[in-house]
Amino acid sequence: MPRRTFKISSTSLNILRQDKGKLSIYVVVTFFLLFCGLVFNQFFLTESSKLGFKEEYELDPSVWETPKPLGQMSRGIKMEKNIVDGKNFRKKILSKQVEMKQLIRDISASMSRNPVVQQILASRQHFKYNENNTLKVDPSLEEHTGWDGIWQPVNGSSHKFYVYSAFYDNRDKPMIRVISATKTKNYDKVWCKLYYRDRQPILVPAGVNAIRENWNLKYSAAFLTCLLPNQTKQPNSEPNQTNQQESPVSLSIVAKLNLPASNQLSINYHKTGIVGANNSKIGVCVKPVHFMYNKTFQFIQFIELNRLLGVTRFILYNSSMSAEIACIISDYVKQGIVQLLPWNLNMQSQKEIRTEGLFAALNDCLYRSMNSFSYLMLIDFDEFIIPHQETSLPDMISSLSKRVFVQSGKPISASQVSSYSFQNSFFYLQWMDDSSISVNPQLTTLAKTKRKQKFHPPKQRSKYICIPSAVKEVGNHFIWEFHHGRTLNVPTSIGFLHHYRVCEFGGDDCINNGFIEDTRIPSTWGQQLVQNVDRISQETNCDL
């Protein structure tokens, strides 16, 4: 068998020689360091034990801002036998150790007085678990099953992190969907601790998905998703026989596994999942009431006109409102017309998060309504979706569901539609009131009959009525993500959004826009609206 020969180039040979030289140096240095360590360990530990040295140093309360300088150290110490064996050298070494500890403590004390350092420490302390300010957690589910519709902090997070509500979403992969507020980017990794009635808690990683409309501010409304196994085997089942995984009853969101949970959310729909509503009810969602809202009669107008239009129930979120508004709302709550949820999110509006975290509220309202309403309308107190052919919203939707529309050159059947979008038209408050209508107190929908002639295009200031069980994520003016279906842009001849407000860019220039008279509301519902507002004003015990 011929002998194989290998040729090595001169360059490769030089590299091998250099590597061999470096390796030799590394070996020598390593042995030297090990030897020095052994000698020092043997000498220092033995001699310090002989001296019986005991550190009794305590930090003096009068710590100076700038540490005192150390004494001059001798730079010419030689490791000679007569010095190494002497007690003088050992005392010097030990005294320098004491001085070094003193120096470290002084530097630490000096830094702690720095305002920047204090601010950093304070921000970290703010997000630590505080038992006095946190609701009780009951993993056993014996006393309670958590809280719903209350902002709760996430323990162990390095920044503001709050959770509000949780829903069992079984439309695709079984999951728990949590409404939360956290950093828009670079958020903490968190875990879902799932509590069951008949077995031990389960820990799964949480997905964090910022809700899309956030203006790129520091914080955003977000979905936390806790995936559940699709299927699990029965203890005595056949090898191929499986069943749907049950939903936990409640959960906690934690950032540090070694810290106790500081929140517990009850899980909506944990028995049924999302099944949709088998009715024709229409619900209304409104973003958080804030800035001590106090427009009492405009609020009553909002409720009563929408009831005339066919709305069944209203879901509101209370950040701040006047005592008068709170009194009126309490009457509606007692009648089952309004559901009012607290909204005490500890984030600065427009600087840290978009408008009181409205997208957390709108998406909470979406999921909260899925099994209660067939249709859901998301509007503000100065907005009304008005049908211009039918006399109620259910009749308008029923009429739309029987027609086929062409959009972007393609026909859209009723079975494809999961959201009806309505274009916006401004009724500017700076325009003169209709002189033919005199109502005290003034109601804007009756007094303001001039509207901007030009409509905004779809998705610009538009509002919508959606099928909540067909939607995954809502925005302020349109749907961001469907589970199924699509949006139909409703022709303005059928209906559009009446928006009563001052000029959108400030000043009074808007009154120079072209306008037309629109008396649809006063001519169709005006008389009944005035009677209803008068009745509420007389029957309430609130001081109006």
pLDDT of residue 239: 39
In a domain, 3, yes or no: no
CA angle 102, 104, 108 (to 5 degrees): 115
In a domain, 118, yes or no: no
Regarding whether 287 and 263 lie in a shared domain, the answer is no
Look at phi and psi of residue 366 and say left if phi exceeds 0, alpha if psi is from -120 to 50, else beta: alpha
| DSSP one-letter string for 498-542 | EEEES-TTSSSGGGGS-EEE--HHHHHHHHHHHHHHHHHHHH--S
Name residue 353's beta-bridge partners. 349
- Read off the amino acid at residue 403: R
Neighbours of 262 (CB within 10 A): 25
In a domain, 184, yes or no: yes
Regarding whether 287 and 264 lie in a shared domain, the answer is no
Residue 441: is the preceding peptide bond cis (ω within 30°)?
yes
Write phi, then psi, for 111 (nearest 5 degrees).
-65, -35
497, 380 contact by CB (below 8 A): no
Extract the tokens encoding 489.
């842009």
**What is the four-CA torsion angle of 21, 23, 27, 30, rounded to 10 degrees?**
110
270, 197 contact by CB (below 8 A): no
Question: Residue 125 contacts by C-beta under 8 Å, 6 or more apart in sequence?
Answer: none
Name residue 486's beta-bridge partners. 417
Question: Residue 304 contacts by C-beta under 8 Å, 6 or more apart in sequence?
Answer: 529, 532, 533, 536
251, 265 contact by CB (below 8 A): yes
pLDDT of residue 7: 47
Regarding whether 339 and 218 lie in a shared domain, the answer is no
Neighbours of 39 (CB within 10 A): 12
* Number of compact structural domains in the chain: 2
406, 413 contact by CB (below 8 A): no
138, 264 contact by CB (below 8 A): yes
Q: Is 107 strand, coil or helix?
A: helix
Write phi, then psi, for 119 (nearest 5 degrees).
-65, -40
Whole-prediction pTM value?
0.76
149, 266 contact by CB (below 8 A): no
Regarding whether 259 and 288 lie in a shared domain, the answer is no
495, 424 contact by CB (below 8 A): no
**Rounded Cα–Cα distance for residues 395 and 387 (Å):** 9
In a domain, 304, yes or no: yes
Structure letter (DSSP) for residue 70: P
In a domain, 69, yes or no: no
Neighbours of 347 (CB within 10 A): 21
520, 309 contact by CB (below 8 A): no
Regarding whether 317 and 215 lie in a shared domain, the answer is no
The domain in which residue 527 lies consists of 282-539
Which residue, among 368, 349, 397, 338, has the nearest Cα to 469 in the 3D structure?
368
**Rounded Cα–Cα distance for residues 40 and 35 (Å):** 9
Regarding whether 213 and 151 lie in a shared domain, the answer is yes
65, 113 contact by CB (below 8 A): yes
In a domain, 45, yes or no: no
Regarding whether 316 and 254 lie in a shared domain, the answer is no
Give 64: exposed, middle or buried? Use CB within 10 Å, 0-12, 13-18, 19+: exposed
Regarding whether 479 and 361 lie in a shared domain, the answer is yes
192, 224 contact by CB (below 8 A): yes
Extract the tokens encoding 326.
């709170």
The length of the chain is: 544
pLDDT of residue 234: 44
Which residue, among 319, 360, 315, has the nearest Cα to 179 in the 3D structure?
360
pLDDT of residue 482: 98
pLDDT of residue 126: 46
- Read off the amino acid at residue 506: G
- Read off the amino acid at residue 193: K
Regarding whether 511 and 427 lie in a shared domain, the answer is yes
In a domain, 39, yes or no: no
Query: Mind listing the pLDDT tens digit of every residue in the chain (544 residues)?
Result: 444 444 445 554 455 455 556 666 666 666 666 666 655 555 444 444 444 433 333 444 444 444 444 454 444 444 444 445 567 777 778 878 888 888 888 887 777 778 776 666 555 554 554 555 568 899 999 999 999 999 999 988 999 999 999 999 999 999 999 999 999 999 999 999 999 999 999 999 999 999 999 999 999 999 999 999 764 444 444 433 334 578 999 999 999 999 999 999 999 999 999 999 999 999 999 999 999 999 999 999 999 999 999 999 999 999 999 999 999 999 999 999 999 999 999 999 999 999 999 999 999 999 999 999 999 999 999 999 999 999 999 999 999 999 999 998 999 999 999 999 999 999 999 999 998 888 888 899 999 999 999 999 999 999 999 999 999 999 999 999 999 999 999 999 999 999 999 999 999 999 999 999 999 999 999 999 999 999 999 999 998 8
Extract the tokens encoding 2.
């011929």
Name residue 231's beta-bridge partners. 244
Q: CATH number of the domain that 333 lies in?
A: 3.90.550
Regarding whether 302 and 168 lie in a shared domain, the answer is no
In a domain, 36, yes or no: no
463, 379 contact by CB (below 8 A): yes
**Rounded Cα–Cα distance for residues 89 and 315 (Å):** 80
Regarding whether 363 and 262 lie in a shared domain, the answer is no
Extract the tokens encoding 125.
């302390």
Regarding whether 477 and 445 lie in a shared domain, the answer is yes
**What is the four-CA torsion angle of 252, 256, 261, 262, rounded to 10 degrees?**
-100
Q: CATH number of the domain that 168 lies in?
A: 2.60.40
**Rounded Cα–Cα distance for residues 144 and 264 (Å):** 10
Question: Residue 251 contacts by C-beta under 8 Å, 6 or more apart in sequence?
Answer: 146, 166, 176, 178, 192, 193, 194, 195, 226, 264, 265, 267
162-169 and 265-268 strand pairing: parallel
**Rounded Cα–Cα distance for residues 249 and 243 (Å):** 18
Which residue, among 139, 190, 126, has the nearest Cα to 163 in the 3D structure?
190
